[in-house]
Amino acid sequence: MAPSSSKTANAPSASNFIRQIVEHDLAGGKHKSVRTRFPPEPNGYLHFGHAKSICLNFGLARDYGGVCHLRFDDTNPAKEEQEYVDSIIDAVRWLGFDWGEHRYFASDYFDRLYGFARNLVERGLAYVDSLTAEEIRAHRGTLTEHGRNSPYRDRSSQESLDLLEKMRKGEFPDGSHVLRAKINMQSGNINLRDPVMYRIRHAEHHRTGGAWRIYPSYDWAHGVSDAIERITHSLCTLEFEDHRPLYDWFNERLAEAGLLERPLPQQIEFARLNLTYVMLSKRRLIQLVDEGHVEGWDDPRMPTLVGARRRGYTPEGFRRFAERIGVAKADSWIEFSILEDCMREHLNEIAPRRIAVLDPLKLVIDNYPEGREELCETPNHPQKPDWGRRQASFSRELWIEREDYADVPPKGYFRLYPGNRVRLRYAYVIECIGYDKDTDTVHCKLFEDSRSGTPGADTYKVKGNIHWLSAKHAHAAEVRLYDRLFATPQPEGLGDLNPGSKKIVSVRLEPSLREAKAEERFQFERHGYFVADRADASVFNRTVTL
């Protein structure tokens, strides 16, 4: 029975069409265990779309007791750099996955690929074409028009072998010859019209240096690398659907010659992640960095994993997100708010509560003696009593949020305005006496018997409850308030950037935050989740609002 993507997905163990295929193959004995791979091209930093693919591939291996390989698809010498390899390794580890000993490079297989290509030439299944790139394009035909055979298509295997060897050694300039598979120029599938297997490139490769003067195409290298590694299920995004017959053609031809072992890997396509308010394409991300719209690959607004990390997003949040959105067979857009919800849910569980005043306004309690101080207890997490409580110093001069005071209260406003009472969280009830414009200060009086936790304190019925910091004890710090990078849900270009995506504010923080370590995460009460910046722990980045 062929696995299908129809809705038989109620079985908890096979909750999506890929799991159904995997379980079918394991149950039927096609494979004894699962072997997947994540195959990034080291030409950029990983983005949120890659996180989906990583969680999918490593998640399948984990759930079915198999392994997932990390394979660098480093077939393109010009664009690839060690910096990207290192950052990809970091990012996959950060997401919580482990490839064990299975870290590979497509360039590890250059020798074998070359041997395989020679075998295809010997069997009349590949040939060296000496048309120019432009002529090849003209011969390829279109979606509605068949292709035409190259005049070099029937040159002898021996001649092709000789030319291929000279190409490899660097005896010809770039573009003078290519190696092509001999499949079918009349095929309705353009990918099967004698696709290119090797191009001449006089370029240094980050791992093989100058050893090669020809480099394999993606279609040639990718599937064969999968088969060499005995990958069982090769998951890729939908745009490769039309490449699948070619993927199978290469592997079948090599398996029938005994060069690859069966069972061969099965390519399965799934919908790529499209996320609103960001752009997930390396080309766009490079443009954002190069043109200075952001401060680098790890700018907290970037939809890269290094950016997410600085932003304070968590690996658990990404894994939760990947679970929640699942995998589908058709492209769609996922709301950015779903990702934010996943982060919030996880941060709510792990982030201790702290007090920060983001837009400070001075408040003086006129009937509280100068020099007097006392300690108020505040919980580190309201739902987790075992996380304990900490002491907050209370004194005559406080910082409150500017928006917690109004000269003239708008309708439904329960915070401070002349004559109104509020509770200072975990401390006293105060009543506003007035606001002094010259010193930009709110004046209040306090009710001694209203202190939280003391008998009778709850006889004070107030509707507002605001946070505060003792001015003498709080310290000033920089906080960066990040918002969505693009202003439109489905951005079309950099013209759609959100000009207000980053605001730097000078704030007051409770004393304990002086000791925050890089990447430590907190909830600033009433404001959202924040993280101590990786590069400078005295600065806090807003991860997400509450």
Judged by the rule CB under 6 A, the positions of this chain that interact with ligand ATP are 39-41, 49-50, 52-53, 236-237, 272-273, 280-282
Among residues 68 and 481, whose Cβ is nearest to ligand ATP? Answer: 68
Q: Which phi-psi region, left, alpha or beta, contains residue 144 (left: φ > 0; alpha: ψ -120 to 50)?
A: alpha
- The answer to whether the CB of 219 falls within 8 A of the CB of 250 is yes
Nearest to 43 by CA among 286, 321, 307, 329: 286
Annotated active-site residue 272? The verdict is yes
Smallest distance, ligand ATP to C-beta of residue 278, A: 10
The catalytic position among 23, 41, 345, 397 is 41
Smallest distance, ligand ATP to C-beta of residue 321, A: 12
The catalytic position among 207, 272, 329, 362 is 272
d(CA 432, CA 365): 9
In single-letter form, the type of residue at position 75 comes to T
Among residues 121 and 279, whose Cβ is nearest to ligand ATP? Answer: 279
- The answer to whether the CB of 278 falls within 8 A of the CB of 485 is yes
Tell me which DSSP letter residue 413 carries: -
Smallest distance, ligand ATP to C-beta of residue 318, A: 12
The catalytic position among 37, 253, 282, 310 is 282
Cβ atoms < 10 Å from Cβ of 539: 18
d(CA 31, CA 27): 8
- Shortest Cβ contact with ligand ATP: which residue? 49
Smallest distance, ligand ATP to C-beta of residue 339, A: 13
In single-letter form, the type of residue at position 455 comes to P
Among residues 36 and 314, whose Cβ is nearest to ligand ATP? Answer: 36
Query: Can you give the length of the chain in residues?
Result: 546
Smallest distance, ligand ATP to C-beta of residue 285, A: 7
Among residues 278 and 398, whose Cβ is nearest to ligand ATP? Answer: 278
Among residues 105 and 435, whose Cβ is nearest to ligand ATP? Answer: 105
Residue 364 three-state SS: strand
Annotated active-site residue 451? The verdict is no
Helix axes 157-169, 110-122, angle to 10 degrees: 160
Smallest distance, ligand ATP to C-beta of residue 57, A: 8
Among residues 45 and 399, whose Cβ is nearest to ligand ATP? Answer: 45
Residue 229 structure tokens: 């590694």
d(CA 272, CA 407): 52
CA dihedral sign of residues 256, 261, 264, 265:
negative
For residues 406-421, b (16+ Cβ closer than 10 Å) or e, as one string?
beeeeeebebbbbebb
Annotated active-site residue 282? The verdict is yes
Q: Which residues are catalytic?
A: 41, 272, 282
